Each structure stands twice: as structure tokens, then as C-alpha cells.
Amino acid sequence: MVDILAENLSGKAVMSADGTELGDLYNITMNLESGELNHLLVSPHEQLRPERVDFEVDEMGRLRVPVANVQAVKDYIVVAR
């Protein structure tokens, strides 16, 4: 697996595997004790309909995408839904 610096991910577009553009990466949460990554926090695009996604939403309206759902990181961060 290729190492990717977190600073290179900030603001990167996030897309579901079916081609739906979800939004832009805001931040990544992690367990401070284990160092395990937990969630991608995604600022959703305004045109994204809430019924099109099955992810939890935080208090600021950002999508909480489990890191385990990440399938690829290239031009977009591609996630399974």
C-alpha cells in the first residue's frame, strides 16, 4: 500500500463507488490511544440529497464515513456506501 500524507488529502473530493459526489474531505478522526483511523468527516455538497447517503451526520452536518469504507485514493477518495 502506498503511503499518503494527510496534508495531501485535505479538501480532496469524496465520491461513492456508484459515482455520486458526496463532498470534500474536511478532516479525519482517530483513536488517540491506538492510532487507528476512525472516520472521514466530509463536508457534503449542497446538491447532495440526504436520502442518497447512509452515513451518520455529525453536529455540524458533515458526513461521518468509516475509514473501512475507503476503496481508493487518487483524484477522488472513493468510498463504499
Task: Give the domain ranges of the chain.
Answer: 4-77
Residue-level pLDDT at 1 = 46
**CATH code assigned to 4-77:** 2.30.30.240
Below-70 pLDDT ranges, the chain? 1-8, 50
Q: Compute CA 60 distance to the chain's CA centroid, rounded to the nearest angstrom.
A: 15
The answer to whether 79 touches 14, Cβ cutoff 8 Å, is: yes
- What is the helix, strand, coil percentage profile of the chain, to 5? 10, 45, 45
Question: Which residues are CB-contacts of 28 (< 8 A; sequence separation ≥ 6)?
Answer: 6, 9, 37, 38, 39, 40, 41, 67
Query: Which pLDDT belongs to residue 9?
Result: 78
> Residue 23's pLDDT is what?
95
Instruction: Report the pLDDT value the prediction gives residue 29, as an integer from 0 to 100.
Output: 93
